[in-house]
Chains A and B, each alone.
Chain A
Amino acid sequence: MTLRTTACPRNCYSTCTMTVEIVDGALRRVLPHPGNRATAHGPCLKGLSYVERVASPERILHPLRRAENGSFRRISWDEALDEIAARLRETRARYGPQSVLYYAASGTKGLLNAVGPAFWRLFGGYSGTYGDLCWPAGLEATRLTLGDNAHNAPWDLAHARLIVFWGKNPAETNIHQMPFVHEALDAGGRMVVIDPRRTETAERAELLVQPRPGTDGALAMAAAHVLFRDGLVDERFAEAHVLGHAAYRERVAACTPEWAERVTGVPARYVERLARMIGTERPVTICAGFGMQRYTNSGQTLRAVLALLALTGNIGRPGAGWIFANLQSAVFDAVKDPLAFYPPEEPDGVARISISTARLGRDMLATDGPPLKVAWVERGNPLAQNPETPTVVEAFRRLDFRVVVEQFLTDTARAADIVLPAKSMFEQSDVIGAYWHPYIQLKQKVLDPPGEVKPESEIYRLLAARLELPADAVDAVIPGPGDAEVEAWLEARLAPFPELSLERLREGPVLAPGCREIAFDDLVFPTPSGRIELFSEEAARRWGVDPLPDWTVPVEATGAVDVSDAAASSRSEAARSGAAASGEAPADEASSGRSDAASSGGGRALAEVVYAAYPLHLLTPNTKNRIHSQFHNLAMIRAQDPGPVLHIGPADARARGIADGNRVRVFNGRGALEVACRIDFGIREGCVSLTNGWWATDGAAVNVLSAGRETDMGHGAAFHENRVEVRPVEAEGVEVEGTEVALDGVRRAEAPRA
């Protein structure tokens, strides 16, 4: 038995340090590691389920070739690599290297992920994606406002007197934040949760604000209105450190709580109460979730929320601040997120980064000169997780050849011609950062790969040899096959930082060089003005949005948003075209670097009435039981979460003749799925909820319903803006298909102007 230190590389806030017990070359136990102050109590259930995940009988242990009938048969590495190399040569010769799509997602983190793009550059080039499914709108909103994505150390939350979880449910998605929440509450702190659902986190709050999805910006602007009106703005702080606070006072002058009540559905007295809590408690921390910034208006929404902290001086102090993303450990990145998500302003002719992640299917289909012929997918499951699944499936179907590197037969792997077995996190060392705590960690190799599994670095080397790529060029970017070579490669990356070495990292996590426990405690903000920018010229220049935080009606506005009132003094008609739906615009939008939400053309202004056929807003939150589409195929996780369930409120259920436990059909103009439903008395009327990450094989891959469109800034995916209708399956006699209308643009309205 040996105990080793490693770290979980999933796309998750917590990025836990773990002690693992290895017995006879197998993972026996996953244990807490006290060296990480943020995750000292130990990993969540997913971390504990690694004992099954690495040894699961469903794991892919050798290359697979798909047959005509969709089944897979085992093939040797030689067969697999020979066929892949032959296909790549042929495609490159015929269409050029950019006819190969290299698609990698967030399945696992690590510096070695860089070998993928490096290989494809040596291959001669490739096509790639820009943007990201996760968080760009919020990152960009934060960058524009504060200059950088950094926040206080996780444990500092214990010092907050008021914690506002704005669209975040850490009890499920960041459980290691909860001990600090409990500490703050034990010390007399207060807590508000803003979420259409009554989440696990909300049970600890004194107030649960349940706005209509997509209206959080209006809520924040009305709260700012109250702060100004009641003299709760920290004038001295604002004067010294905030650019544009006076202009913002004008902007929100007409955004009264009564206006917000009509827009958000939150009674005015609660808007007042929320604002007064933020304005009178010191210090205040707002933790903003990622789900809220997957809307077409979400960059501006997050700027409006962040403004509340700027106005009350809750930045740069213990217990105060904006917890969205802490990229202080991203010390290895040449270009830091979110800038790394943007397509290059000047294409280099080798890598064609022209496909929006948010519109993956449509953009793939529209790509020409050369068109896409081959796809290589690693660390991702785009056929379940990217918006508008039907178009993604179609785009992959149209390709000549698909290779997927995977641990399990996911929806994407099932569509592959060749599936190559992927390593698990325990089978190759790598160095990882985090986005919540500021530690650099070594994800140590503690097991040998089982079966015929090879790490990607080795797969690329073998492929490079078959493609006769120059050996010295390969050696320069891809580590050699042995553990020693991998470690040497990692050491070279650590070399610029005297604080970091594999030696030290082997013992446990190390705080990132130069990280600050209290972000912006020097009140120096790396913005153009050096101040917190409520007024951002860059926002207007880069994204075409108002330079001040603002709220606009989301494209798929929910329920009874009173558009006529909201638009009372709209600055322009701002009707937008249904670019995404008509499938024309993506290519030039991409090259111009502007998001589609911002590109308001003169196209048809579709009235709100379009969405009357789909009156429910589908929330697709994450659950404690998965990281996106990972983990739920394990028996340990299935025991907690046996199958997909749609949550629906009692009034919405009754209106549709739906009883608890019924099977229901969830549909819109884009797709449909069938699931069991559960009456949930805590969910806001007009909203239904189905966790994302189920596979098509579970019957509930939610993105068959979502739209491929970008957020207003950052090239994020606005796929949480998703309207549907729900019917009991038994009542299928109702002519459902007939009511389905295409979902595309709708006229935009803004917050009222004084």
Chain B
Amino acid sequence: MTVAGADRGFLLDVGRCTGCAACTLACSTENALGWGRSWRQIVTFNEERLPGVPAFHLSLACNHCNEAPCVPQCPARAISRDPDTGAVLIDGDTCIGCRYCAWVCPYDAPLFDEAASVMTKCTACHHRLTEGLPPACVEACPTDALRYGALEGAARVTGFPDTPAEPRIRFLGVDRVDSPPESTWRAFEGTWRADVSAGAHPAGSRPNPTISLRSEIPLWLFTSAAAALVGWVLAAAVGTVALHPGPFIALAAGALAVSTLHLGRKLRAWRAVTNVRRSRLSREVAGFGAFLTLATLAALWPGASGSVAQGAAAWHGTAHALLVAAGAAGLVALFFVDRVYDPVCPRRRLGLHSADAILTGPAFAAVLQGTGAVYAAFSTLKAVLYVHRHGPTGPRGGWWLGVLRVAALALPAPLWWLAPGAGSGWAYAAIGLFAAGELLDRAEFYEELRVRTPADEARRVLALRRAIKNPVDG
């Protein structure tokens, strides 16, 4: 399939761009984004002027990629390609404000509009393109470095993220920025490696979109509750743990309600399942919905009533089949939960993170049921992943956090030995301890998430160049 306007896009002459930021202001005014806000940003490579490394700027907005990840990943199908100009556009009337497009975009293009509570981004000024005018940023460029037209020139330049998205941007003048000026001042040679380690210079003209626990508390609570609910159903399906319909439905409803708090447009939450075929986020929501439906049906099924307290052993026929199906659906849902974070979770080993829901759900089931072997397997895996992730330095918050975390994984087992049998105070203590440890780890998980941006890429490449150029390191 050919993409509309695939042969047209932004052209940036990196030899001419001075990083003057006129483009960002023109964008701001043209699109009435509010003073100081812009869809376009300047990313500076080598702001700190490392010797031997050139310094230049990238003026970047949305690249309207031919394989734009935001289009398939939008759970509400709010992002589409304009058939005439090929511009990738967000429909503000459909967008639910979940911010997932910002997570999956390698170019840091989508921005949350606080006033409208939806995502917005560069439209390539498609309202101007259709009138035969260039985008406002292009018109405003005082050095004629930014253009819009037929794609020609280099697809890559140092510091620009290399992704399979087929961004519709090309770079001119790349040979102009492959070497810095020869300086007459070289006293720092051989000495500067030690100094630069501290220098974390802002490479972008706007702050990175950060994901933090503070900003994602609804997701933290929702994913933790999801793992707990699935664990509960698993314990009921294969063990003897009771599934009380009242508390289960209350907790499920609470989890769903909390999850919508994360949305800019809460009343449009239902749209999140309209893109199950392509969007990870839709799959998460749909998978969790299917799990809840099956589990609720099982809990309320007439055959189950009255015997629920005895657990799975007392379940019969359709009710039990529903319960097993719910457990299976739950595992699939947790798998989808974890996949949502793939683009922003940099710290997985062997595809797993110690706080992944797919590990927490079964482990919780084992805690509820008191199944030592299963618990040992999952808790050991979690502990190994945790320790491996942090290494000898321990978590950022302090070594005692690490001790707390591992203790919360290790101690539930001795607690059962102390007092076997469900329903005892020690069993509840084991559940509470486990849950606390999981909440702690999941909180760390959110602190570790990171949207990868062109500014990050510029910094990463510069760090490599530092290492290469360092005469001491050889």
Contacts and interface: CB of A to CB of B under 8 A. Distances in A.
Interface of A: 28-32, 39, 41-45, 48-49, 51-52, 171-172, 175-176, 178-179, 182, 185, 193, 198, 200, 202-211, 265-267, 270, 624, 634-636, 638-640, 649-651, 653-654, 659-661, 678-685
A210 B185 contact: yes
Given A51-B29, A635-B36, A679 B198 contact: yes
Given A29-B29, A202-B181, A635-B36, A178 B192 contact: no
Contacts of A30: 29
Contact of A681 (B18, B37, B140, B196): B196
B139 A42 contact: yes
Given A178-B143, A659-B198, A678 B25 contact: no
23 contacts: A42-B142, A43-B22, A43-B142, A45-B22, A48-B26, A176-B142, A178-B16, A178-B142, A200-B18, A203-B55, A203-B180, A207-B181, A208-B181, A208-B182, A634-B35, A639-B205, A650-B191, A654-B194, A681-B50, A681-B188, A681-B192, A682-B55, A684-B185
A659 B198 CA distance: 7
A45 B143 contact: no
A45 to B, nearest CB: 5
Given A175-B18, A678-B48, 19 more contacts: A44-B142, A45-B25, A48-B26, A51-B29, A171-B18, A171-B20, A179-B144, A198-B180, A200-B19, A203-B54, A203-B56, A210-B184, A267-B184, A640-B24, A650-B188, A650-B196, A651-B187, A660-B198, A685-B188
Contact of B206 (A32, A43, A266, A639): A639
B176 interface: yes
Interface string B50-70: 110011100000000000000
A681 B191 CA distance: 11
Contacts of B191: 650-651
Contacts of A659: 198
Contacts of A172: 18, 20
A182 B13 CA distance: 11
B354 interface: no
B200 interface: yes
B139 A31 contact: yes
A32 B139 contact: yes
Contacts of A206: 181-182
A653 B188 CA distance: 12
Prevailing SS type, chain B contact patch: loop
Contacts of B16: 178-179, 182
Contact of A636 (B35, B50, B176, B183): B35
Interface of B: 15-16, 18-22, 24-26, 28-30, 35-38, 48-51, 54-56, 139-144, 176-177, 180-185, 187-188, 191-192, 194-196, 198-201, 205-206
Nearest to B194: A654
Nearest to A191: B181
A43 B143 CA distance: 10
A334 B440 CA distance: 78
A679 B196 contact: yes
A16 to B, nearest CB: 9
A102 B295 CA distance: 84
A207 B182 contact: yes
Q: Which 7 A-B pairs have the closest CB atoms?
A: A682-B49, A635-B36, A210-B185, A650-B195, A639-B36, A635-B35, A208-B181
Given A175-B18, A182-B16, A198 B181 contact: yes
A328 B65 CA distance: 50
A678 to B, nearest CB: 7
A205 B55 CA distance: 12
A743 to B, nearest CB: 26
Interface centre among A48, A175, A207, A680 (most CB of B within 10 A): A48
B141 A42 contact: yes
Given A42-B142, A203-B181, A636-B36, A660 B200 contact: yes
A270 B186 CA distance: 12
Contacts of B181: 193, 198, 202-208
B142 A41 contact: yes
Given A49-B25, A650-B196, A44 B49 contact: no
B25 A636 contact: yes
Nearest to A14: B142
Contact of B20 (A45, A210, A653): A45
Contact of B37 (A43, A202, A639, A683): A639
Contact of B176 (A48, A49, A204, A265): A204
A122 to B, nearest CB: 42
A202 B199 CA distance: 22
B22 A44 contact: yes
A30 B153 CA distance: 31
A202 B29 CA distance: 31
B144 to A, nearest CB: 5
A171 B181 CA distance: 15
Nearest to B193: A650
A178 B142 CA distance: 9
Contacts of B183: 198, 208, 210, 682
Contact of A48 (B19, B22, B36, B144): B22
Contacts of A52: 35
Contacts of A270: 184
A209 B29 CA distance: 40
A678 B44 CA distance: 15
A267 B199 CA distance: 29
B48 A638 contact: no
Contacts of B24: 45, 639-640
A141 to B, nearest CB: 24
B49 A653 contact: no
B38 to A, nearest CB: 7
Contact of B25 (A48, A179, A198, A654): A48
Contacts of A654: 194-195
A204 B194 CA distance: 28
Given A204-B176, A635-B36, A680 B142 contact: no
Contact of A660 (B142, B185, B199, B205): B199
B143 A175 contact: yes
B143 A41 contact: yes
A452 to B, nearest CB: 24
B46 to A, nearest CB: 9
Given A48-B25, A207-B181, A635-B36, A42 B140 contact: yes
Best-surrounded residue of B26, B54, B140, B198 (most CB of chain A within 10 A) = B140
B142 A678 contact: no
Contacts of B54: 203
